[in-house]
Amino acid sequence: MSKQLTTILATSLALLEQFQGALSTSASASTAEDRSKDANANALGLLSASSAALKAQVTKLSLLAINSPFTHSAVTGVLRACNDSVLPSLVTAALLVTPAEYTKAFHSEVLLLVRTTLTEFTTLVQQVKGIAEEKDRAEKDDPKKKEEDLSKSEKDAATLAAGRVWDACDTVTEVATKGVVGFVMRRVEEWRDLVKDAVDEIEGWDPEEDDDGFFDDLMGGDKEDEDDGADDDDEGDDEENAALQAEKKSTLRFLKPVMQVYPAIVTNRLKKAGDAPLSSTNGVAKLETLMLNLQSIPEKVDEVAGALYEGNASKSAKYLKKIQKCASQAVETVTLPWDPANGAEGERPAEDKFTIWSRTWFKVMDEVSKSIDAESSA
């Protein structure tokens, strides 16, 4: 192997390892440094530009690796470009995406995606190294023999590795292009779908279809009573079913406005927000609160469903109240529009359609929670 190629392969692999280390410790190291807005705007631009650049280099590298003749100088050139500028830019961009300026969740997402990209790229570089070593061996065995093509499986492996780097680069570019608010919006839509699935399941649940034995066991039903008390049991079951049906109905009535919070916030507070939420610390904090609350609702709805199936009204009520708290906090956080990017200090943004919607929403929640409170204390 040419000395240059040996060196750059070793350097690249060492650099990749070093970068992985830098990205895995950055979560604790990065703080709210005073960076200019321009640097902010550029972090995502740099991120998408450098991931696109890496993708282009990877295309070249994989073609050079699988086609004969294997040209050491060309492969060296591509690796050098990655080492000297493409990879350092990618990692720098990722490190500029701090949790304080871009939210914790977005920061973690970017680090994760860039680390994945580096991992996939490392695999490709290792394969290129393997190919270079193999060509060396073949040449040593028979220096006069014409260079042979790689086997199909070797070519496939290199192409596959390149494809995986491409996918990773595309994901980074997409996340960088959509930005923080785009990312938050996607998460909120995922949580909305989870809530909807859980509510659909509750809707489809028929208490009467449940295994009676299961409930009898839970209610301490006694097997010996089964024969002589058949009629009483039926009556008891009817009552129990009616109670469960009522419980199901009031639960769904309660969850309906909760579900509406998701699309309302997406439409009114995320879709057209642009970078406004990021223009202030306050805006970033609001995004954090919004995500925290909207994310925690789906699992609580699952708990409500579980409590319903168990016939445990007090447990169901407990989780419904928690859901109400989270949903209310989310709505409250974004009741007013985002602060205008260059709004005067202390100036409150004007109320809008969503602000009015939120007032009605709070009234509705008060209404539907009355029946929950009544039922759980009954």
Q: Which of 6, 11, 126, 171 binds ligand NAG (CB under 6 A)?
A: 11
Q: Which residue, 165, 195, 175, is CA-closest to 103?
A: 175
Question: How many residues line the site for ligand NAG (CB under 6 A)?
Answer: 11
What tokens does 24 get? Answer: 């895995």
User: Taking the complex as a whole, how short is the minimal distance between the CB of residue 82 and ligand NAG, in angstroms?
Assistant: 9
Q: Which of 30, 83, 108, 355 binds ligand NAG (CB under 6 A)?
A: 83
Q: Is residue 84 a contact point for ligand NAG (CB under 6 A)?
A: yes
Q: Is residue 314 a contact point for ligand NAG (CB under 6 A)?
A: yes
When the beta carbons of 80 and 196 are compared against ligand NAG, the nearer one is: 80
User: Taking the complex as a whole, how short is the minimal distance between the CB of residue 315 and ligand NAG, in angstroms?
Assistant: 3
User: Taking the complex as a whole, how short is the minimal distance between the CB of residue 83 and ligand NAG, in angstroms?
Assistant: 4
The one segment of 56-64, 66-74, 78-86, 139-147 that binds ligand NAG by CB under 6 A: 78-86
Q: How far apart are CA 200 and CA 114, in angstroms?
A: 37
In which region does residue 258 sit, left (phi positive, over 0), alpha (psi from -120 to 50) or beta (all else)?
alpha
Q: Is residue 318 a contact point for ligand NAG (CB under 6 A)?
A: yes
When the beta carbons of 11 and 26 are compared against ligand NAG, the nearer one is: 11
C-alpha of 176 from chain center = 14
When the beta carbons of 80 and 187 are compared against ligand NAG, the nearer one is: 80
User: Taking the complex as a whole, how short is the minimal distance between the CB of residue 200 and ligand NAG, in angstroms?
Assistant: 24
Q: Is residue 295 a contact point for ligand NAG (CB under 6 A)?
A: no
Give the per-residue contact string, 87-106, with ligand NAG (x = CB under 6 A; - = no). -x------------------
User: Which residue do the tokens 């321009």 mark?
Assistant: 38
When the beta carbons of 104 and 315 are compared against ligand NAG, the nearer one is: 315
What string of H, E and C letters represents the secondary structure of 2-23? CHHHHHHHHHHHHHHHHHHHHH
What tokens does 183 get? Answer: 């990312």
Q: Is residue 343 a contact point for ligand NAG (CB under 6 A)?
A: no
User: Taking the complex as a whole, how short is the minimal distance between the CB of residue 137 and ligand NAG, in angstroms?
Assistant: 24
Q: How far apart are CA 200 and CA 195, in angstroms?
A: 9
247 close to 375: Cβ distance less than 8 angstroms: yes
The one segment of 77-85, 184-192, 259-267, 358-366 that binds ligand NAG by CB under 6 A: 77-85
Q: Is residue 312 a contact point for ligand NAG (CB under 6 A)?
A: yes
Burial 137-165 (b: 16+ CB within 10 A, else e): eeeeeeeeeeeeebeeebbebbbebbebb
When the beta carbons of 86 and 259 are compared against ligand NAG, the nearer one is: 86
User: Taking the complex as a whole, how short is the minimal distance between the CB of residue 237 and ligand NAG, in angstroms?
Assistant: 17
76 close to 67: Cβ distance less than 8 angstroms: no
Q: How far apart are CA 52 and CA 61, in angstroms?
A: 14
The one segment of 35-43, 107-115, 167-175, 311-319 that binds ligand NAG by CB under 6 A: 311-319
When the beta carbons of 82 and 172 are compared against ligand NAG, the nearer one is: 82
Q: How far apart are CA 29 and CA 94, in angstroms?
A: 13
User: How many helices (H) and strands (E) would you count in the chain?
Assistant: 12, 0
First to last CA, the chain: 82
What is the Cα gyration radius of the chain? 30
Residues lying near ligand NAG in the complex (CB under 6 A) are found at 7-8, 11, 80, 83-84, 88, 312, 314-315, 318
